[in-house]
Amino acid sequence: MASKDWDSLSEDQQIMLSREALARAANTIAAQAELLAAEFDAGTLEDRGGAEALRLLAAVVRASSEQTFGVAGHA
């Protein structure tokens, strides 16, 4: 969506779209966390502990985002 398109939306529409984007992001992160947990349970990935698991989750989310949406700033 171009900036002029965004600016032509009402504030309520902008809020609705922003909330939907956040909900989708949360669902994506939750799905990645479930996938990570399943990989640990299956023994595919070694559970290295809290901080490492979170770093791994962050890497998975970033890689997933880049594949889906491309790198930010490269429209």
* Within-domain flag for 75: no
Overall domain count for the chain: 1
Q: How far apart are CA 75 and CA 72, in angstroms?
A: 7
CA distance 57 to 35: 9
Determine the pLDDT at residue 31.
Answer: 84
pLDDT for res 75: 45
pLDDT at 68: 61
Residue 6, domain member (yes or no): no
For residues 49 and 22, what is the distance between their CA atoms, to the nearest angstrom? 28
pLDDT of res. 50: 67
> pLDDT averaged over consecutive 10-residue blocks of the chain (75 residues)?
84 90 84 82 79 79 69 48
Residue 74 lies in a domain: no
Q: Which domain holds residue 17?
A: 11-69
Please tell me the predicted confidence (pLDDT) of residue 69: 56
Rounded to 5°, the CA angle 26-21-60 comes to 45
Identify residue 19 by its one-letter amino acid code: R
> Is 2 contained in some domain?
no
